[in-house]
Amino acid sequence: MAELRRTPLNAVHRESGARMVPFAGWDMPLHYGSQLEEHLRTRADSSMFDVSHMQVLDLAGSQVRDFLRYLLANDVAKLHGPGSAVYSCMLDESGGVLDDLIVYALPLGVYRLVVNAGTADKDVAWIAQQREMRGNDCQLRRRDDLALIAVQGPRARERTLAACPPAAIAADVARFHAAGDADLWIARTGYTGEDGYEIMLRAADAESWWRALAAQGVAPAGLGARDTLRLEAGLNLYGADMDESVTPMEAGLAWTVDLASDRDFIGKQALFERQPRHTFFGVVLEDKGVMRAHQTARTAQGDGRLTSGGYGPTVRASIGLARLPPGVKPGDAAEVEVRDRWLRARIVQPPFVRNGRILITA
């Protein structure tokens, strides 16, 4: 078994008493005592997450823009100068989702991709293969010298600016935008449904920033709270809610595919040819119980399957994301098989929670 990789903050997590678990080949904090408290604190105030396991890739070169327009389902032509960002899927030739990622436009013509930890090696190999096949001259650099800290919650930006003066470069950026340079990039993005920053900085500086944030009252949170927060926010998790077996249209991500222009991109023709086999919606359990991934959801149009599920601490109900038969719509009744019992549920349009506001009724 390969040895687990460690983030630059590993020693700090252990010092804080975090429960460490293997995740995507990394030694990562699951929680620091109470996953529930970490979740609720993020919704009410602020928390910081070590997300240094995510892979940062910088691409540059005279042909990089054209290459990314071919590589990704969304169109990087939407990026208008440094600090702009776009969310996209990267597809294979059959239209299946290889990964979901964010692309940022950095200064000096550099494009930054942030991809998932579990798919990083596969993504790099795929990008290199496509670059070689197209004879493209863009340069690809893995930024293993960087750490990533996400500060999330309604007071996240306020506390970050007080703790770390260099963060002032991002004080006025709009949501889903960023500021900085290749070695300190601060994006107003996140994976919790709350406001905040995702900070990409030199690994050598990560501990000092982490401790400065803690001194301003930002407490750490682990993978457990990150998962329940993103589920309430209706945000997909790669490998659970999407993978190569489904298209973006079957994973609730049709909005990330740009078909408006005449550009070609990998998987485009397949998207026109493949008839969607699923719709993608949220599910709220109305009986007592907790839904989990892979459970069967029964509807009037046929059976589907939960891709994510759990207890939503903010909504105080069990919620999930599910692939369901075509024709299902929000408001429809459903039943979910939980521990050999069929429990009543309701189909809804995610998200369940955004910016601390509950958007569905339990």
Confidence label for 320 from pLDDT (cuts 50, 70 and 90): very high
Same domain, 236 and 165: yes
Confidence label for 362 from pLDDT (cuts 50, 70 and 90): low
Same domain, 230 and 260: yes
Which candidate, 230, 151, 169, 68, places its Cα nearest to that of 178? 169
Q: How far apart are CA 351 and CA 306, in angstroms?
A: 15
Report, as an integer, the average pLDDT of 258-281.
Answer: 95
Based on its alpha-carbon atoms, the radius of gyration of the chain, rounded to whole angstroms, reads 20
Q: How much is the pLDDT for 135?
A: 87
Q: How much is the pLDDT for 261?
A: 85
Report, as an integer, the average pLDDT of 338-345.
Answer: 97
Report, as an integer, the average pLDDT of 125-132.
Answer: 97
Q: How much is the pLDDT for 2?
A: 76
Which candidate, 358, 249, 247, places its Cα nearest to that of 313? 358
- Ramachandran angles phi, psi of 219, nearest 5°: -90, 155
Same domain, 118 and 17: yes
Same domain, 113 and 175: yes
Is the bond leading into 154 cis (omega within 30 degrees of zero)? no
237, 271, 305 — which closes off a domain? 271
271, 298, 328 — which closes off a domain? 271
Q: How much is the pLDDT for 251?
A: 97
- CATH number for position 48: 3.30.1360.120
pLDDT in tens, 289-303: 999 999 999 999 999
Q: How much is the pLDDT for 1?
A: 61
pLDDT in tens, 81-96: 999 999 999 999 999 9
Give the chain's mean pLDDT.
97
Domains in the chain: how many in total? 2
